Amino acid sequence: MNRKGFIIGLILILTMLTSTVFAESEIIVRIDSTNVEFNDVIGRPFIDENNRTLVPFRAALEAFGADVEWDSETRTAKAIKGDIIVEVPVGQKYIVKNGENIESDSAAIIKDGRTYLPIRKVIEAFGAEVQWDSKLKTVVITTEPFDARAKVMEAYDKYYKWENFDMYALINLSMALPDETGNMQQMNMQMDMNATAFMNPMKLKANANMILDLGFDKLSQPIMEMYMVADENKFSTYMAMTDQISGELTWIKQEIEDESFATLLDPNNEEMKELNEKSITDVKYLGTYTVNGVNLEKYEITMSFEAFNEILGQNLSMLTETLGDDAELVLKLYANLDDVTSIFYIDEATGELAKMEMDMSSLLSTIMENMMDLIVQEVPEGVSEEEFTNQILQLTNGIKMDMMAEYKNINAADDFEIPEEALNAITTEELLKEVETTEEVNE
């Protein structure tokens, strides 16, 4: 995870929490980003009992550029491309490449008079690369493999050099919540956010709107406006929440003095660069798609929270200022998180990061499970701990959350100023004192 992504992402996620256009219903095979045509006559791909994708032999291999032969006596399909000959005997869990057996966990079969082969083993035997895009149910074949990780890191290097940009983000959240009778009811929330960021010095403007669907009622309203400013020694957040009745904005600000921001924002900090690269454990190229006339390369990136947790640990003082006594809890939560995957889209023409998508369902479930001991300390009156725990587990198991972010106007975003009402807002410390004073008066 990069420096700017860490700063912006961390604050936004903490603040918020205090879809893709390519969907298909059947299995697709793409060779160098071109779909292979299948139909009822030549057959269609399917997934076998071993969870492996089998495709019509002749259609797939001819689209791959190979010559195809069939030996009816030995029931063996043969594909020839260049100096490589691959033989696929029906019913056998191996293929033969230039006379050498290669084991496979799936066998070719004959179904409805057509031969189907385990696509990965055969295509890899020709030296091509095969990936599986689970979300789109797509087999992605790249005949001339390249270093996907290097391509992504190049995009990161470009991202580090961005002076400013606009971002549009969309978050979808779905979970089951107990109603007054104890029955679980589905709640769906959609939140969209527009943001503008400048990096030297760093400042961010964001506003968010929310649509809440409770099944019996649907609410839509603006919920937040926020500004952030950071320099070498100080980090300031200005946030306005929208009153649900009057629609007026109420501003509050928080200022944190911490020299650790100099480390986070230093573009030449080699230690931070190493941690950023270390967090990316795997990169897969999933083909190129054309969206609104722009060719976008799609990559699946796996990130480890081990490196991310190390970044958090190095900046514990910043977390303590923001979260107080909960800072250590946040570190423990991140320490127990599994690897997480996200989808990055890179503009083929510019090499710039254009879009990202992430399914955060398992991440949220894991966080809630790790917080179970803390949650059960707040059991409502009239509810047993066992009953309350079961409700939380139901919520955890059914939670779904995904997010999407698009980056636009790179180095061409409109500048902005923080409004006076935000700069002159009450601080969080002052607000807490007012609340304490009010409670004392009421007592």
Q: What's the pLDDT score for residue 151?
A: 95
Average pLDDT on 401-428 reads 92
Instruction: Tell me which residue of 132, 270, 172, 226 sits closest to 416, measured CA to CA.
Output: 226
The pLDDT tens digits for 116-140 are 998 999 999 999 999 999 889 999 9
pLDDT tens figures, 407-419: 999 999 999 999 9
Domains 3-23+148-442 and 44-128 alike in fold: no
- Rg (Cα) of the chain, in Å, rounded? 27
Cβ within 8 Å of residue 162, ≥6 positions away: 4, 199, 410, 411
Indicate the pLDDT class of residue 14, thresholds 50, 70 and 90.
Answer: very low
pLDDT band at 393 (very low <50, low <70, confident <90, very high): low
Query: How far is it, in rounded angstroms, from Cα 271 to Cα 253?
Result: 32
Across 171-175, 290-294, 403-407, least confident range: 171-175
pLDDT reported for residue 415? 96
Average pLDDT over residues 169-185: 73
Residue of 256, 258, 243 whose CA lies nearest to 427: 256
Residue 428 has pLDDT above 60, yes or no: yes
pLDDT, mean over the chain: 79
Summarize pLDDT for 65-75 with one digit per residue, the tens.
999 999 999 99
Whole-number Å distance between alpha carbons of 442 and 227:
34
Confidence of residue 279 (pLDDT cuts 50, 70, 90): confident
Domain positions in the chain are 3-23+148-442, 44-128
pLDDT at 175: 74
Contacts of 12 by beta carbon, 8 Å cutoff, 6+ apart: 193, 206
Q: Which fold has domain 3-23+148-442?
A: outer membrane lipoprotein receptor (LolB), chain A (2.50.20)
pLDDT at position 80 is 97
The pLDDT assigned to 246 comes to: 65
Q: What pLDDT does 16 receive? A: 43
pLDDT(221) > 80:
no
Greater confidence, 428 or 63? Answer: 63
Domain 44-128 has CATH 3.40.50.10860: no
Question: Residues with Cβ < 8 Å from 194, sequence gap 6 or more?
Answer: 166, 167, 168, 169, 206, 207
User: Residue 284 above 60 pLDDT?
Assistant: yes
Task: Pick the range with the lowest mean pLDDT from 4-18, 26-40, 163-177, 315-329.
Answer: 4-18
Helices (H), 267-326: 270-279, 305-314, 316-323
Question: H or E segment at 370?
Answer: helix 361-370
Is residue 120 within 8 A of residue 11, CB to CB? The reply is no
d(CA 99, CA 107): 18
Reply yes or no on whether the pLDDT at 282 is more than 80. Answer: yes
User: Is the pLDDT at 3 greater than 70, yes or no?
Assistant: no
pLDDT at position 437 is 64
